[in-house]
Each structure stands twice: as C-alpha cells, then as structure tokens.
Structure 1
Amino acid sequence: MSPDHPPGLDLDRLRGLLERERPGLAQGPLTGRLIEGGRSNLTYAVSDGISKWVVRRPPLGHVLATAHDMKREHRVISALHPTDVPVPAPVLLCEDEEVLGAPFYVMEFVEGTPYRTADQLAALGAERTRDAVLSLTGTLVRLHAVDPAEVGLADFGRPEGFLDRQLRRWGKQLDASRNRELAGIDELHAALGRELPASPAPAVVHGDYRLDNVLIGADDSIRAILDWEMSTLGDPLTDLGLLVMYSTPLDLPHSPVSTTAAAPGHPSPAELIERYAAASGRDVSAVSWYTAFAWFKLAVILEGIHYRYTLGQTVGRGFDRIGDLVPVFIEHGLTTLHEGLQEG
C-alpha cells in the first residue's frame, strides 16, 4: 500500500462520496496519509492538491463499536463548532460501512502543532511555553461553560452517579488485566471510593484533555481541540484532574509516557488549578481527588498495555518499559489523595 493510499482509506470511494454529498468540495484526485497520534481511532490527512481535510475512522479490525463511535465524535464537534470552543468544522458523517469498511467522518484540516514532549515544547522558549500551557486552562473553562442543552447535548451522557460509574468502570478494567501483584492499587481504588466528592453541575467533558490533544497555532493560542472519543456529559473537574496530572513532572528519563511538565516555563499544577478556579468560579477544593483518580486511571491503562505486552499482543518500541511505570503512577495517586485529605 503506497503512502498516498494508506490502509483503511479508499480514496476513490471517499471521492465518490464527497461528490455525492458535498458536490464541488473536492477539486481533483485525492491523496491521503495517516497522521500519527491519537488514542486509538485512525486519523488521516486528505488533500485534493488545493484544500485539506481530516478523516477519522475506527481502527482496522475493531470489535468494540461503542469505544469507537464516530457518530458521537461527529455530534460533539458539530454541537461545539458554533460556540467559542475551538474545534474543527465538521464536513460530513458517513455511517455506511461499504465506503471505508467502517463508519467515519470528515472535518476540516486545522493548521497547528500538537506538542507531545518536553523537548518539543522547550523549542518555543519559556515565555511561549507558559502562554501555550496557560491557554489550555482558559480553553477548558470555555468548554465547561457551554450549556449542554443549548447546543443540543442534553442527552450526551448520564451525569447522575458519573464518578461512581467511572470508578467502577476502571476497577473492572483493572480486573480484566490482572496478572501480577500491584502494591497499593486496591488501596487507591478503595480510598477513591470512600472519598467520592459531590459533583458540580454537569458539563461537556472532553475525557482526555491534555496538551498533545490540542493544536497550538503560531500565536501560541489553541486552534483546535482534537480526539473527542472519550467525551461525555459529566463532572467537569475530571478534565481538570487529568490536566493537573499531565502537568506534574514524572522525573523519569526516557519514559514511554510523554509529559511536557519538565519544559522550561511550564506552569505548575497549582497555577493551573488557580487559573481554572478564578476563571470558572468553580469550587476546586476536591481537586486532589480528581487528580488521584487521573493517576489511578492512567495506572489501569498502562497495566492493560503491559498485560497485552506479556501476551505478545503489542507492536513497537517502549512497551517493555510500560510495566515499570505502573507502580510510579499508583504511588503518585496515593500520595496525591492522602495529601488532599490532610489539607481538607
């Protein structure tokens, strides 16, 4: 398969669909390439030589349709596009699996850079790094200020009992990939359950909000938030907890889990929390719980990857080191939760 015809993307069928659904949009033959990154869904850049678009589809051979719901992703960016939340403009949704072998959607191509590592961010310099990361907080406040009912997302999730369901869900994920002793993981899970906070009013939650899921423009502003596959209606402070976790230095050289926190000029977690609280007006006194939950969730995700690695089901470099990270994430979760309880 040539680079211009990547697996999972039949450009002739896509061109035919565009001609039927959006006549005149594509001016010539299409080329396409796979864009690296993203959690699991496949993302392609497509061009007719004049304009560029992005195609999102589930992984090849996927089995869990609910985990790769293209209609849901397309729905949330369509709802948010008229607001001041930066998302790519939707072009079309195709649920006919005959075209590409799975449902998919097309959106505009947004120019910008996803910063995935501290080294990449350091190239901006300390001042620009600070501005870029602080813009994450302001943009998150704007997302959480959207009234779900006003944009047609009142039924986008089940906010009642959201945190309890999330905790049980990730506990089941952990049980599904247990094949070794993990000191402290059950203690962390149980403590999170005992200290479950009362959620504020529900908001549209991104679910995986971090620097490498946004595109930063040349002016250091956020041009677009990407990867909405985990989005739902729920507790907005789960997004803040995840952002705080990803902004905490891991102090692990050559870690296969990227973090940008070590870049010069990167704001501290405390400053991000303070900025969010001031701009949103929300009570963030329980933020330690949400951050500890983020550490737990990532520990479970990493343990799942490690489990698949032990079964020979992973391909690529770095998977042999994932298992060593899990205890570090557990320890961070326990420490964060205990410190938060002492402060409370």
Structure 2
Amino acid sequence: MPGRGPDELFHEERIRDFLEARGLGSGPIRAERIGEGQSNVTFRVRQGDADLVLRRGPRPPLPESTHDMLREAALLEALGSTALPVPEVLAVCEDDSLLGVPFYVMPYVEGRILTTEEPEGWDRPRVRRTVSEELLDTLVALHAVPVDAEPIRGIGRPEGYLERQVRRFAALWTANTRRDLAVVADLAEWLGAHVPVSQRFSVVHGDYRLGNLMFAREPGRSPRTVLVLDWEMATLGDPLADLGYLLATSADPGAPSSVMQLSPVTRRAGYLTREGLAERYARATSLDLSRLAWYEVLALWKSAIFCEAIYTRWLSGERPGDATFAPLLERGVPELLEQAEERRSAA
C-alpha cells in the first residue's frame, strides 16, 4: 500500500470513515490498485460485503483543467439516464483533505479488459471479430445519444469543439514540456488551418479505445460490453474525433507500433482492421469519412502532448514507481509526432 503523506494515493482510515458515513461499507478495508491507466488512479476497495471502486486523480500539482473527478462523476450521472453501459456513481468526495484530490466511488463490476492477453477461449477469429464489432457498435451507440436535452446538454458546448481542442492542447504542450520539438507547433498550425466542418454533434468520449471497454462473456453467449470506462475527457463535440482517435491508436497487423497502442492483441487474426472499423462506422452512421485523416492527425498530436505531460511529471519525480510506461516516452512522444506527420500527408 502506498506510503503515508499529505498527497498519499490512498488512506485506509479516512476512506473507511467516508464509506461508513454513506452506508456503503462497514468494518476493515482491503484495497488494491487496479487498471493500467497512465493518468488517473483506481483502487478496488472491499469493506465487509461491499465491493467498490474508488477513482481519483494523480498526486498534485495537476495541469489546469485535467484529472477533474468532480466533472467526470457529474458526466457519468448525466449519462446514467441513457442506455449506455457507464459506471454507476455511488458517492462523490469534493473534500481534498482526505486524499489530496477529489474522488468518487462506484460499484466493482467483474469483466475482462483486453490489452496484451486474451481470456481462454477468446483466441478464435469469430470471437475476436465479435469483440471488434462490440467496440465499434458501442461507439455508434454513444454517438447516437441525443444531445439537445438535459442533462446531456449540460455536459459541454459542442460548437467550436475542434478549434478549442487545437488551442487547448497547443497550450498544454508549452506548459508541460522541457524539450523543443518544433513539429508540435507546425502540426498545431496545420490542424488549425484545416479544421473540418463538423457534420453533427454528439457525446465524445475523448479516450475511446479497446482498453477502456470491459467485456462479459456468459456461457453460451458472445462477448458483450458491460462498461465503458475512463470518461475524464468526455464532452459534447464532433463524433469523428472519437473515431479518429480509435483508429490512430489501434494496433493493425504490419503497421508501425506506438506507445498509445495499448491493446496490441488486435494485431492478431480476426480483429477488425482500422479500415474495417471505419467501414462499419460509416455504414452505421452515414457520416462522410473523407476527412478522417485530419482527425487521426489530431489524435496522434494530442496523444503526444498528454504523453509529454506524463513524461515531464516522471522526470520531476512525480510518478514514483513508474519503471515501464513513462521511460518509453523519451522516444515514444517523437514517434507519435512522426506518425502524425505521416497521416498529414494523406489528409
């Protein structure tokens, strides 16, 4: 369990008292860190018969407008009125004196998250294709949620979404890097000068990928989506931003790898390729994908920028214990930018 300090990640006594005061658990706590997220921190918390998940941001100081657990919890509560498979928010803590940052609590749900390995029996092409179809069809369902009525309308301001993304991430690079990579500003200028006209608006997840879906597979049934996770960056905007991000970070057979290909299982036979995912999305939505390369450039450029923030925090000693992901970013960030430049040539 993490050490004790003013910004500790977890504190058994304080969380025990918090949960008991809200009738969510009773007695001693058992907690373990779960998930492979590189941004926010998630714990499975068991207290008596209660089996819960606590989600919080990383240790402060935090970049402005990032890791906002209160906003994420409010967004999940709004989406809870839809048929989307989103986590149920059981309690929210705005008091940062407990853990140094706000957090929220949701029920623990059993399921499978696919990253580097597949569960037994899932290694067949038919099952793999079903997983890909679930991944894409869940995205289509997300983008079909009506956005013109409360509480969904309160999630964000869709007009000007793409322009704001370019401005915001350009500023984040300046605030979170220690090195000079001129291609970042060059890509920002190109993105800003070639912003597509959004065909429509939708809920946008912002980090939609296979590793943020949890699957269940009951006996006699194919894999099905039971939860979509990690809604920190969700808002209202252009749905093709999600599709561009999904494609840009998907692992395709024979395609160059990157630090953002967090579910490399999709290189195996049976999973839909990027082209196959795009074709299925186009059939389901009837949206014009002729400018899709622009959205992929945006996704790779943004990924490089938030990975650079992780790398800088690691260099500053703010990610103790990270011996795997952050060290890769010295080269991983320039590689993402190289791939963004390659996609720009196709836009």
Match of 1:294 in 2: 299
1:158 aligned partner: 157
Which of 234, 244, 249 lines up with 1:246 in the alignment? 249
Q: Give the structure-2-normalised TM-score.
A: 0.85
Distance 1:329 1:72, change over 3 A: same
- How far apart, CA to CA, are the structure 2 residues paired with 1:129 and 1:65? 39
Q: Which of 321, 332, 336 is the aligned partner of 2:328? A: 321
1:151 offset after TM fit, Å?
4.7
In the other structure, the counterpart of 1:279 is: 284
Distance 1:101 1:326 in 2: 29
Q: Is the 8 A contact 2:93 2:104 kept in 1?
A: yes
Please state whether the residue corresponding to 2:113 is helix, strand or coil: coil
Q: Counterparts in 2 of 1:119-138, with a 5 A limit?
A: 119-120=117-118, 124-125=122-123, 126-138=125-137
For residue 95 of structure 1, report the CA deviation from its aligned partner.
Answer: 1.6
Q: Hey, what's the Cα distance between the residues in 2 that align with 1:72 and 1:256?
A: 25
- In structure 2, the residue corresponding to 1:60 is in which secondary structure? coil
Partners of 2:101 and 2:310 lie apart in 1 by 25
Q: Structure 2 stretches of 5 or more lacking a match?
A: none
Alignment of structure 1 residues 38-57 onto 2, 5 Å: 38-57=37-56
Partner of 1:16: 17
Counterpart Cα distance in 1 of 2:210 and 2:73: 21
Q: Number of residues paired by the alignment?
A: 335
TM-score, normalization: structure 1?
0.85
Residue by residue over 1:200-249, the C-alpha shift from the partner in whole angstroms, topping out at 9 and shown as x without a partner, is 33221111111111112124211101111111111111111110111243
What secondary structure does 1:107 align onto? strand
Structure 1: gaps of 5 or more residues: none
CA distance change for structure 1 residues 258 and 276 in 2, over 3 Å: closer, same or farther?
Answer: same
Report the counterpart of residue 36 of structure 1 in structure 2. 35
Instruction: Work out the CA distance in 2 between the residues paired with 1:60 and 1:10.
Output: 13
Please give the alpha-carbon distance, in whole angstroms, between the structure 2 residues aligned to 1:185 and 1:68. 23
Residue 262 of structure 2 corresponds to: 258
SS of the residue aligned with 2:267?
coil
Q: Which one has the bigger helix percentage?
A: 1
Q: 1:320 to 1:296 in 2, by over 3 A?
A: same
Q: CA RMSD in A?
A: 2.9
| CA–CA separation in structure 2 for the residues paired with 1:169 and 1:255 | 22
Q: Measure the CA separation in 1 of the matches of 2:182 and 2:301.
A: 13
Q: Which residue of 1 aligns with 2:342?
A: 335
Counterpart Cα distance in 2 of 1:299 and 1:220 = 32
